[in-house]
Amino acid sequence: MGTFVADRRNERFQLWLVAVGPLQEQHVAAERLAARVAGDDFERAIRVDDGIFRLPILADENRVDARLDRTLEQQQRLGRQDGGIRISSNENPLGPGKAALDVLAGRFVEAGRYPFNAIPGEAQFAATIAQKFNAKMENVVIGAGSGEILRNAVRAFTSASKPLVTANPSFEAPFRTAEQIGTPVKYIPVDSNMRLDLEKMADACKGAGLVFFCNPNNPTATVHGSKAVAEFVARVRKVAPTTAILIDEAYYDYVTDPAFSTATPLALSEPNVFVTRTFSKAYGMAGLRLGYAVGQVKTINALVRYRMPYGCNVLGIGAATRTVVRLVKQSKKVSVASAKT
Ligand SMILES: Cc1ncc(COP(=O)(O)O)c(C=O)c1O
């Protein structure tokens, strides 16, 4: 089995092929896969280690996709086990969980409804998210993926005279949007340990409209603990009280560092702070396009103005609502159980 890791640093698209597991046959499978994906370019591949290839790819990402998809299709037809998993978008190859799939299967009849008329619809979904955070529905905005909210945040809070501050490298949606609409971007390099330089980012916020704090950060996979996040927010609020602070927690569910915890309480207690989350990663629903942001009402209203009306589909809303309801119930059970002991 091979996995694909795209490395887009320095704007050069490279593809790494990594064999999972130590078995010789997996290394051979990865090599075969690398050769198929790279085609003629495989001659220029660098073998980094057993089963790991650095492909001098391929200016055009679509070419890779076309080759990869063809490869996967062939393998599905042939029932072979040496396929690749494309993880360059950090999707969850396992897909949605069983409860979510059960909802999806029974939900097609609702596809005739607009998302505000479906049951559950957008409002119920937002209310369920709010309940999870002990907040009100007005503290939540939903989007077609958190990507929609990241883009809308740049539109809502920045302008030609109010720059975006972002780490470099960091997730690209905010700075790409800023470039599209003519907002200047202050790129703050990560430090020598690939961690966000929070002091420099906070200081750069003077006069900025929005700061993008990706925690964990894609693509460096670094994470900052709750104390550092609170200090960052306090510092930004001091040097730039009107700058909006976007804390992206797309990879929240994967963090094992005990110093980390969600910044949602901060978003609910502090003006101008909001946290975005997604169902695309740990929940395996990237294709269903669903994300949300949590923050104070004024901050959320600024984002709601830019929302695509009825932009979230009823299938995703149904699956995600069921998932969150289950998780809220489970966490209640867990806290009751632990309170007794
Ligand atoms: C850090 C980060 N934030 C947000 C997103 C957007 O994901 P989605 O629009 O699927 O919610 C991604 C996707 O790769 C991401 O890596």
Cβ–Cβ < 8 Å for 113, 277: no
What CA–CA distances, in Å, run from 317 to 12, 24, 121, 288?
A: 36, 44, 7, 8
What's the pLDDT score for residue 332? Answer: 62
What's the pLDDT score for residue 339? Answer: 39
pLDDT at 296 over 50: yes
Mean pLDDT of 72-94: 61
Length of the chain: 341
Please state the atom number of ligand 1 nearest to the C-alpha of residue 278.
11
Please state the atom number of ligand 1 nearest to the C-alpha of residue 280.
10
Pocket test for ligand 1, best of 149, 280, 292 (most atoms within 8 A of CB): 280
Tokens of 310: 């009825």
The more confidently predicted of residues 8 and 218 is 218
Share of the chain above pLDDT 90, in %: 64
Cβ–Cβ < 8 Å for 280, 252: no
Domain boundaries defined on the chain: 2-86, 98-330
Cβ–Cβ < 8 Å for 275, 262: yes
Pocket test for ligand 1, best of 86, 146, 277, 308 (most atoms within 8 A of CB): 146
Please state the atom number of ligand 1 nearest to the C-alpha of residue 146.
11
pLDDT at 93 over 90: no
Q: Is the CB of 248 under 6 A from ligand 1?
A: yes
The structural architecture, per CATH, of the domain 98-330 is 3-Layer(aba) Sandwich (3.40)
pLDDT at 86 over 90: no
The amino acid occupying position 114 is Y
Q: Coil, strand or helix: which one is 38?
A: helix
Residue 37 phi/psi, 5-degree rounding, is -70, -40
Mean pLDDT of 32-39: 70
pLDDT at 1 over 80: no
What is the pLDDT confidence band of residue 250, given thresholds at 50, 70 and 90? very high
pLDDT at 21 over 60: no
The more confidently predicted of residues 27 and 10 is 27
Between the CA of 144 and the centroid of ligand 1 the distance, in Å, is 11
Between the CA of 250 and the centroid of ligand 1 the distance, in Å, is 6
DSSP state of 307: P
Pocket test for ligand 1, best of 87, 152, 218 (most atoms within 8 A of CB): 218
Cβ-based neighbours of 42, under 8 Å, separated by 6 or more:
34, 35, 55
The more confidently predicted of residues 47 and 328 is 328
What's the pLDDT score for residue 328? Answer: 85
What is the pLDDT confidence band of residue 225, given thresholds at 50, 70 and 90? very high
Share of the chain above pLDDT 70, in %: 75
Mean pLDDT of 70-98: 64
Q: Is the CB of 176 under 6 A from ligand 1?
A: no
What is the pLDDT confidence band of residue 15, given thresholds at 50, 70 and 90? low
Alpha-carbon span 312 to 338, nearest angstrom: 37
Q: Is the CB of 90 under 6 A from ligand 1?
A: yes
Q: Is the CB of 286 under 6 A from ligand 1?
A: yes
Cβ–Cβ < 8 Å for 284, 95: yes
pLDDT at 114 over 80: yes
Q: Is the CB of 278 under 6 A from ligand 1?
A: yes
Alpha-carbon span 315 to 186, nearest angstrom: 38
pLDDT at 140 over 90: yes
pTM flag (> 0.85): no
Mean pLDDT of 6-35: 57
Place of tokens 């790494």: 16
Q: Coil, strand or helix: which one is 34?
A: helix
Q: Which stretch of 84-88, 260-264, 297-301 has the lowest confidence by average pLDDT?
A: 84-88
pLDDT at 122 over 90: yes
What's the pLDDT score for residue 88? Answer: 66
pLDDT at 302 over 90: yes
**Sequential DSSP letters for 148-166:** HHHHHHHHHH-BTTB-EEE
